[in-house]
Structure 1
Amino acid sequence: MKIRYAKEKDTKTIKEIWKYCFNDTPVFMDYYFKHKYSRGNTVVVNEDDEIVSSLQLNQYKINLNNKVYDTSYVVGVSTFPEVRGRGYMKHIMEFTLEELYKKGQLVSILMPIDYRLYRRYGYEHCYDQLEYNIDINDLGKLKISGRMHKVNDSHIGSLIDIHNEFLKNVNGNVLRDEEYYKVLFEEIKSEGGHIYIHEDKGYEGYIIYFLNGDNMFVRELYYKNMNSLKSMMKFIYNHNTQLKTVTITSPLDDKIRFTLENPKTTDVKIKPFMMGRIINLKGYLESLDVPKELNASINICIEDNFINENDGVFKIEIRDGKVLVNKVEGKSDISFNINTFTQLAFSYIDIEEALFLNNICIDDIKQDVIDLLKSIFTKKVNYINEYV
């Protein structure tokens, strides 16, 4: 068995694995392998001169705790059925984590088909979405002000502006630029979707949606104000002769519920969406901004079974607004595995939740340790909405 990056000759087999495992349409596969696939970011398992397993590391920039990080989004983890159960996934994930560390990336993200598969490799749940399931007739009393336009390339600047305004208070989202939206247009087209932009006093919101039988699935509903939100909800209602229901996904701090005439007839649930992982503990901590007046240090023990550089006791010193981290010998003030540390680092949980989830009594931890960790890790609303 050999694990390596893909070569040009491997593309045909990688497509075959993808098609078998994910059952995507030919149109979507054409889009993906034209616009997203890169053999330089594809890891394969070669057994007896045959490609039997692969994954892709799609590159994004995410805004995490007011810092921008290059990150690998692990997608397409797949193995031919006749060789499953031989441990290829374990080997390909071990190789991938080592490579991400060598490349200098500090964080990684992954959308799991099953959380249990990836927790063992240090990935942990870090992102949720709200999912609304609404009877479309409940939106009938709303009104449209302004106009809706089918999106084209001339709207990209406005889409970026709406995106940035809508997500200004959330954490962990992907930075989007002109090239991002051009590729997104191709993705939505490949899946038979639609994108419209709302204009009233300028461009104020946009909607990405798909028609599936008698249901509309709204992938993104981004807006600058309630006027735009209500207008786009009425736009959804105007499909009432075609559809019975609409499903909308949104950040946890979304305002859709305030537009509903009778919220009790709407099913609203929290939908687990994305996992994250700290790839380089020292590098990530030293990248953070902390209060300049804070001067303190603690020893923290981290258990990481796959990236040796993250495993051990680390002395964290904060001086003059900088974080210094070094691996040391000796006792620790507090201990976490890489999964819990990742949730703290991604601001998905706070220190009290970390202690509770690990059955650690807060009274057993020195208050200055708690205070220092609170100064580094604060809970935020995380949101991300990338699918490949």
Structure 2
Amino acid sequence: MILNHSHGKDKEIRRLLSKSMLNMDPVTISTWMKYKYDPNGMFCILEDQKIVACLQTKERTLHYEGKKCKALILSLACTLPDYRQRHYFSQLMEAAMNYANCNHMLTLCYTNFPKILEAKSFQNVSKTKYYWLEMENWSQGDLKNVRTYRPEMNLFSIYTEFMKHFDGSILLNKNEFDEQIHYYINCNHRIVTMYDGDTLCGFAIYKVIQDHIEIEILMYMDSASIFDLLAYLSTRCKSVSFIVSQAERFEKLFPMEIPRSQGTVLARLSNYKLFSIWSGKNVHHAKEAFTALEKPMWNHMID
């Protein structure tokens, strides 16, 4: 039996995550439940009088050449170990796509396993690049321009300015953005800001893993702020890793570093004819729709 919501099922969803998502510790699960869980967008499979699989979706706003439309984001999926290999994910996907066909212009997902969704008419519309930098003898930038985040700092202004360089992307409103910031803070991530004098010109969200720092979100107004950030982090770790969108030209900053491909943004149009009328472009599938954009996509903070 498929449920198209999970109202009143919070404890069951929490139990499902704890038994299925081995990469989520209890603190992360509690934080996810507080800031990312949405019973209205949760599709569940009920078997043996309990929830054995779920698919979390989120409604977000896609900005496309000055226009806005509602997009459905696939956020999280999991199945109890004893109930896997029963095609429950396919059933949940079919339910979510039927819902999207009636309510959203398109569906998006960021994933490291694209083949699963490509089999369901999703198409690769953008990729990410993964960098790993050794911090030994790092000599560029000025760590004095980096400050620890405080609530009165206006990170949202940097986010909106940064996103002006991209198109065909999810753009969060202030409340959605603040929810993301609270989520990261409560998952024991750290936030630092980069300044040019008294002018805020970037921020980074990262987590410390022993002597390594993994940057989750990186926004910047210029390359100087990136080098200042790395100067600051170099005093706190031996190596730094981060993911950037396909169009962010970090090869100009680190010409000796060879990034590897990471996650993929996949998209599916609910109705290509309707999308063509709305967008003013004659497209037949998602890849055409995003290739037609003059500006690149940005892949992060979509759910």
Same topology, TM > 0.5: yes
Quick one: which of 184, 187, 191 aligns to 2:183?
187
Cα deviation digits, residues 233-271 of structure 1 (max 9, x gap): 2222232xxx221112222333544444xx32x342232
- Report the CA distance between 1:102 and its aligned residue: 1.9
In the alignment, is residue 28 of structure 1 matched against residue 24 of structure 2?
A: no
Question: Partners in 2 of 1:19 and 1:208 — Cα distance?
Answer: 25
Equivalent residue for 1:247, pick from 238, 241, 266:
241
Q: What residue is the counterpart of 1:232 in the other structure? A: 229
Q: Which SS does the other structure have where 1:384 is aligned?
A: coil
State the 1:380 CA deviation. 4.9
| SS across alignment from 1:137 | coil
> In the TM superposition, what is the alpha-carbon distance from 1:48 to its structure 2 partner?
4.3
1:203-214 aligned within 5 A: 203-214=200-211
Q: Distance in 2 between matches of 1:163 and 1:138?
A: 31
CA distance in 1, matches of 2:40, 2:163: 31
Aligned-partner SS, 1:111: strand
Q: Are the counterparts in 2 of residues 147 and 198 from structure 1 also a CA contact under 8 Å?
A: yes
Q: Which has the larger radius of gyration?
A: 1
Q: Within 5 A, what are the aligned runs for 1:168-317?
A: 168-201=164-197, 202-239=199-236, 243-260=237-254, 263-264=255-256, 266-289=257-280
Q: CA deviation at 1:148?
A: 2.1
**Structure 1 pair 213/41, CA: closer, same or farther in 2 (3 Å)?**
same
CA distance in 2, matches of 1:31, 1:127: 29
C-alpha contact 1:5 1:44 (8 A) present in aligned 2: yes
How much does 1:145 deviate? 7.3
Partner-residue secondary structure (3-state), 2:268: strand
* Cα distance in 2 between the residues matched to 1:274 and 1:138: 35
Q: Report the equivalent of 1:342.
A: 286
Tell me, yes or no, if structure 1 residue 149 matches structure 2 residue 147. Answer: yes
- Cα contact 2:73–2:302 (8 A) shared by 1: no
Q: Are residues 258 and 114 of structure 1, via their aligned partners in 2, closer, same or farther at CA, if it must alter by over 3 Å? A: closer
Pairwise CA distance, 1:379: 6.5
**Residues 233 and 200 of structure 1: CA distance in aligned 2, closer, same or farther (over 3 Å):** same
How far the C-alpha of 1:35 sits from its partner, in A, is: 1.7
Residue equivalent to 2:68: 68
Q: Which residue of 2 aligns with 1:102?
A: 102
- TM-score relative to the length of structure 2: 0.89
Per-residue deviation, 1:385: 0.8
Where does residue 163 of structure 1 map in the other structure? 159
Deviation at 1:203, TM superposition (A): 0.8
Identify if the C-alpha distance between structure 1 residues 213 and 87 changes in structure 2 by more than 3 Å, giving closer, same or farther.
same
* Displacement of 1:212: 0.9
Secondary structure in structure 1 of the residue aligned to 2:129: strand
Q: Take 2:158 and 2:152, find their aligned partners in 1: how far apart are those partners?
A: 14
1:224 to 1:127, Cα distance in 2 relative to 1, 3 A: same
Question: SS of the counterpart of 1:9?
Answer: coil
How far the C-alpha of 1:83 sits from its partner, in A, is 2.3
Match of 1:49 in 2: 49
Aligned length: 301
Matching residue's letter, 1:6: H
Work out the percentage of aligned pairs sharing the same amino acid.
Answer: 16
Judged with a 3 Å threshold, the aligned counterparts in structure 2 of structure 1 residues 247 and 90 are, in CA distance, closer, same or farther, namely same
The CA RMSD over aligned residues, in Å, is 2.4
Residue identity matched to 1:33: M
Aligned to 2:135: 136
Given that residues 128 and 382 in structure 1 are in contact (C-alpha distance below 8 angstroms), is that contact kept between their aligned partners in structure 2? no
Q: Quote how far apart the aligned CAs of 1:281 are.
A: 1.8
Verify the 8 A CA contact 2:114 2:264 in the aligned structure 1: no
* Cα shift readout 1:269-298 (whole Å, capped 9, x = no counterpart): 2323321111122221111145xxxxxxxx
- Structure 2 unaligned regions, length at least 5: none
Other structure's SS at 1:121 match? coil
Gaps of 5+ in 1: 291-315, 317-322, 324-335, 348-376
Residues 178-212 of structure 1: CA distance to partner in whole angstroms, max 9, x if unpaired? 32332122221233211111122411111111111
The farther-off stretch of 208-217 and 15-24 is 15-24
8 A contact 1:198–1:205 mirrored in 2: yes
Q: Which runs of 4+ in 1 moved over 4 A?
A: none
Find the counterpart in structure 2 of residue 306 from structure 1: none
Looking at structure 1, the residues matched to 117 and 253 of structure 2 have their Cα atoms a distance apart, in angstroms, of: 38
Residue 354 of structure 1 is matched in structure 2 by: none
CA–CA distance in structure 1, aligned partners of residues 119 and 251 of structure 2: 37
* Aligned residue in 2 for 1:123: 122
**How far off its partner does 1:49 sit?**
3.1
Which structure has more relative contact order (CA 8 Å, sep 6+)? It is: 2
Task: Give 1:84's aligned residue.
Answer: 84
Aligned equivalents of 1:221 and 1:114: distance in 2? 23
**Change in 2 beyond 3 A, CA 1:283/1:188:** same
SS at match of 2:12: helix
